């Protein structure tokens, strides 16, 4: 029987999920591909022994043992982080191994170098597991929607942040408390910065934009804001406006320029993305031919990620068996057609806004604030003042009509400088139904 031989670097949670999936699905994969997909070598510096079902695989402490094994076809990197993952991937590519990674941080920062090295060495790069966990989002975008100019990408791409916002929405619990619970339950990491500050979501948006538009989009292109300043009161107001607050990745395609932003967003309850709850992910595309498509599923976890990595292994394995390497270009467009993106400056964005301004409860404050908005041409749709306790600052909540981000920034700078405002205003962009 034909055999596809896989070497794995990193036997942590995701790596052991890959091994388990290959083990459990072995017969199914044979019936689907006619080939045995075998994990022949594992490199990890933290384990002494492989599980029983991997007794035919060799465990090594040195990743080089994997590149140097002439029998290995595909090297899977599942250690995460920038180094030594980057060096390992580039070394594997130099050794003419096809590579698979779930490493969105690495791809969104050094993707260009990695993909160019792969082209130069005639090998494939699989990265289905880097975005949306087990959801076949990369394949759908590269192949299923091949006949589309992608007009927008919008998504909930971080399960931890979505879990926190869902808990805050359902139970009114403050952010810090939910985060602590999530950490205790293992849904959030000890250092949750990447998840809650939108950085992980930005990694994924950069990857999706790259293949959607055929442009090398990098992490530094994405304008990123997190959810750590969202309070239960913001969620309550969102409900009053018929919305839910979600941490969204958004890219609108304006032709010459494309938007690239990650931030908390008020999403109308009628929108599919408002109804994605808990740790699930969902990615919404608008294609000029197909219209709106949404893909939903588990965005992380040992087995969902295993499902996606094995899909890549099989995809590349089929190309090895059929001698059809790079049958589909790694970045969806042929290398010679990949360009450099031009990102719309955030200052050019226009949308309706929600502002929550915490100010001393004094006469004239609302007049001062609304005067500032008026001077910057920001038209107010509604204002609600709510004080929680006497002697505490009041929360002035303003829902604006469509306004320009540049004007909003200027207005908020002035408002934050007011003596009555002790803490900076909270600003949440509102998704409109045409988005």
Binding site for a copy of itself (CB under 8 A): 21-22, 24-25, 28-29, 31-34, 128, 134-136, 139-140, 143-149, 214, 272, 275, 287-298, 301, 303-304, 306-308, 310-311, 314-315, 318-319, 322-324, 327-329, 332-334, 337
CB atoms within 10 A of CB 43: 24
332 is in an annotated binding site: no
Cβ contact 354:398 at 8 Å: yes
Q: How far is the CB of 340 from a copy of itself (least distance, A)?
A: 15
d(CA 159, CA 333): 29
Q: How far is the CB of 20 from a copy of itself (least distance, A)?
A: 9
Q: How far is the CB of 113 from a copy of itself (least distance, A)?
A: 22
Instruction: Please identify, using beta-carbon distances, which residue of 332 and 344 lies nearer to a copy of itself.
Output: 332
Cβ contact 279:162 at 8 Å: yes
Instruction: Please identify, using beta-carbon distances, which residue of 109 and 273 lies nearer to a copy of itself.
Output: 273
Cβ contact 99:75 at 8 Å: yes
What's the distance, Cα to Cα, between the start and end of the chain in Å? 51
Instruction: Please identify, using beta-carbon distances, which residue of 50 and 311 lies nearer to a copy of itself.
Output: 311
104 is in an annotated binding site: yes
Strand pairing report for 380-387 and 394-400: antiparallel
242 is in an annotated binding site: no
Whose tokens are 């469509």? That residue is: 402
189 is in an annotated binding site: yes
Instruction: Please identify, using beta-carbon distances, which residue of 112 and 302 lies nearer to a copy of itself.
Output: 302
Instruction: Please identify, using beta-carbon distances, which residue of 32 and 180 lies nearer to a copy of itself.
Output: 32
Give the CA diameter of the chain.
83
Whose tokens are 């390992």? That residue is: 88
115 is in an annotated binding site: no
Q: How far is the CB of 144 from a copy of itself (least distance, A)?
A: 2
Which of these, 43, 38, 55, lies nearest to 8 by C-alpha position? 43
**Residue 204 annotated among the catalytic residues of the structure:** yes
Cβ contact 387:366 at 8 Å: no
313 is in an annotated binding site: no
Sheet holding 125-126, edge to edge: 58-60, 35-43, 2-9, 74-77, 98-101, 125-126
Single out the catalytic residue among 97, 204, 215, 427.
Answer: 204
Q: How far is the CB of 55 from a copy of itself (least distance, A)?
A: 21
What are the binding residues for NADP(+)?
9-16
What are the binding residues for L-homoserine?
189
Which residues carry out catalysis? Answer: 204
């Amino acid at each position: 029987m034909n055999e596809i031989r896989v070497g794995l670097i990193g036997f942590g949670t995701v790596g052991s999920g890959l091994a388990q999936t290959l083990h459990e699905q072995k017969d199914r994969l044979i019936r689907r591909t006619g080939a045995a997909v075998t994990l022949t070598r594992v490199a990890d510096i933290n384990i002494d022994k492989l599980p029983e079902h991997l007794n035919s695989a060799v465990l090594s402490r040195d990743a080089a043992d994997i590149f140097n094994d002439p029998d290995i076809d595909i090297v899977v990197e599942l250690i995460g982080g920038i180094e030594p993952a980057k060096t390992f991937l580039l070394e594997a590519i130099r050794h003419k191994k096809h590579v698979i990674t779930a490493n969105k941080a690495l791809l969104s920062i050094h993707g260009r170098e990695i993909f160019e090295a792969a082209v130069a060495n005639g090998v494939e790069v699989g990265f289905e597991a880097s975005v949306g966990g087990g959801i076949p989002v990369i394949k759908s975008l590269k192949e299923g929607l091949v006949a589309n100019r992608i007009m927008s990408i919008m998504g909930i791409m971080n399960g931890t942040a979505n879990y926190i916002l869902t808990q805050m929405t359902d139970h009114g619990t403050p952010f810090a408390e939910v985060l602590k619970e999530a950490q205790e339950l293992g849904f959030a990491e000890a250092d949750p910065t990447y998840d809650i500050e939108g950085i992980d979501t930005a990694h994924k948006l950069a990857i999706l934009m790259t293949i959607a538009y055929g442009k090398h989009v990098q992490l530094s292109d994405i304008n990123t804001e997190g959810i750590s300043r969202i309070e239960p009161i913001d969620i309550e107001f969102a409900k009053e406006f018929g919305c839910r607050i979600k941490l969204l990745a958004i890219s609108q395609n304006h032709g010459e320029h494309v938007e690239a932003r990650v931030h908390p967003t008020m999403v109308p309850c009628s929108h599919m993305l408002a109804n994605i709850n808990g740790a699930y992910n969902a990615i919404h595309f608008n294609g000029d031919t197909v219209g709106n498509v949404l893909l939903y599923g588990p965005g992380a976890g040992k087995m969902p990620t295993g499902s996606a990595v094995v899909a890549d292994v099989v995809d590349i394995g089929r190309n090895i068996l059929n001698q059809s390497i790079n049958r589909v270009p790694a970045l969806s467009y042929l290398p010679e057609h990949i360009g450099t993106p031009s990102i719309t400056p955030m200052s050019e964005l226009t949308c309706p806004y929600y502002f929550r301004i915490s100010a001393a409860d004094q006469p004239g404050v609302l007049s001062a604030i609304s005067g500032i908005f008026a001077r910057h041409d920001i038209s107010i749709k509604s204002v609600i003042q709510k004080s929680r306790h006497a002697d505490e600052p009041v929360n002035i909540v303003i829902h604006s009509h469509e306004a320009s981000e540049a004007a909003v920034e200027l207005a908020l700078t002035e408002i934050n400088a007011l003596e009555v405002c002790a803490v900076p205003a909270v600003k949440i962009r509102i998704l409109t139904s045409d988005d």
